């Protein structure tokens, strides 16, 4: 029989304690920020590896015997650089899932209306025995319920957040984007104004355009869905054929996930303030 309490405790035991990190006052963000920073550096590490192992001449590498054999091992199989890049969506989805599991717990433990809204998840059973086990394990109701809520897709997160908060989470993200000046970067107008308007831009003075909040939200959601979908294929298919679109998803994923979590954190902070 599945022991939920033991699963939660085991998972928590594998995480670095938040009190050891730089900003213990922001546990949700601290839970994932360091790993996201490291994942964002992976493309640079890949470029460095590609430069050393594939673009240097053999004669140049032979001057450095300490790396010669390692370069040969990387060169020989081929595709090692691409294989490393495939870790990016896997690691980023882990960050998204960990972040929102903590968000679920924080909302429920905050109290009403979120705790009351959690009663809508009728398939989650909670009894006196569970309550006693939680107290003995020093776990909260939020810890217990959040462990059982869906986090493995954008749609699952959106649906769960909407039920917990009682308001449309996707719309809340769009409102936050609309209020964020940092996300609304201006671009030079190159081409017809009509074309830019069709693509979701607003025309401003001086030959500049700015993406609408609707476009930014739409692009962000599409990017997160793509990351989840690609992560699923990379985890469950031995030799997936990678398209140009897949390569673009990997390239843009770190920035897209960072924006998604930053906007989500702003929304959650507002809910808990």
Domain holding 158, by residue range, is 4-272
pLDDT for res 2: 63
pLDDT for res 134: 64
DSSP of 175-239: HHHHH-TTT---EE--S-HHHHHHTTEEEETTTEEEE-HHHHHHHHHHHHHHHHHHHHHHHH-SS
pLDDT for res 16: 57
The continuous run of DSSP H or E covering 116 comes out as: helix 114-117
Exposed, middle or buried by CB within 10 Å (0-12, 13-18, 19+), for 170?
middle
Structure tokens at 150: 């869906």
pLDDT for res 21: 37
Total domains present in the chain: 1
Give the C-alpha separation, 32 to 97, whole Å: 10
Give the C-alpha separation, 200 to 48, whole Å: 37
Each of the 273 residues of the chain gets a pLDDT tens digit; together they read 466 666 666 676 666 554 443 443 467 888 788 889 999 999 888 888 888 777 767 666 777 777 777 777 777 666 788 888 999 999 999 999 999 999 999 998 888 899 899 888 867 666 656 666 666 666 777 888 888 888 889 999 999 999 999 999 999 999 998 887 776 666 777 777 777 777 777 787 767 877 788 888 898 999 999 999 999 999 999 888 889 999 999 999 999 999 999 999 989 988 988
What value, to the nearest 5°, has the Cα angle with vertex 240 and ends 236 and 244? 130
Give the C-alpha separation, 170 to 157, whole Å: 10
Residue 19 neighbours by CB distance under 10 Å: 8
pTM (predicted TM-score):
0.82
Output DSSP code: residue 51.
I
Give the C-alpha separation, 58 to 72, whole Å: 9
Structure tokens at 197: 């308007």
Structure tokens at 173: 């993200």
């Amino acid at each position: 029989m599945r022991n939920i309490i033991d699963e939660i405790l085991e998972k928590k035991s594998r995480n670095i304690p938040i009190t050891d990190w730089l900003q213990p006052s922001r546990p949700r963000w601290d839970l994932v920020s360091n790993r996201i920073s490291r994942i964002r550096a992976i493309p640079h590490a890949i470029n460095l590896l590609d430069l050393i192992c594939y673009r240097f001449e053999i004669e140049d590498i032979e001057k450095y015997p300490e790396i010669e054999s390692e370069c040969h091992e990387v060169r020989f199989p081929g595709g090692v650089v691409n294989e490393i890049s495939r870790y990016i969506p896997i690691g980023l989805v882990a960050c998204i899932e960990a972040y929102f599991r903590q968000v679920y717990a924080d909302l429920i433990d905050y109290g009403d209306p979120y705790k009351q809204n959690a009663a809508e998840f009728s398939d989650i059973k909670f009894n006196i025995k569970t309550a006693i086990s939680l107290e003995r394990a020093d776990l909260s109701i939020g810890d217990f319920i959040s462990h059982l809520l869906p986090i493995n897709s954008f749609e699952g997160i959106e649906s769960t957040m909407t039920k917990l908060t009682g308001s449309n989470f996707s719309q809340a993200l769009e409102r936050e984007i609309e209020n964020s000046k940092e996300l609304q970067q201006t671009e030079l107008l190159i081409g017809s104004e009509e074309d830019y308007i069709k693509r979701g831009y607003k025309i401003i003075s001086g030959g500049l355009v700015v993406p609408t909040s609707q476009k930014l939200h739409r692009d962000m959601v599409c990017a997160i869905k793509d990351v989840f979908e690609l992560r699923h294929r990379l985890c469950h298919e031995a030799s997936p054929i990678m398209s140009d679109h897949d390569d673009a998803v990997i390239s843009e994923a770190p920035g897209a996930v960072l924006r998604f979590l930053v906007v989500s954190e702003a929304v959650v902070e507002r809910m808990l303030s």
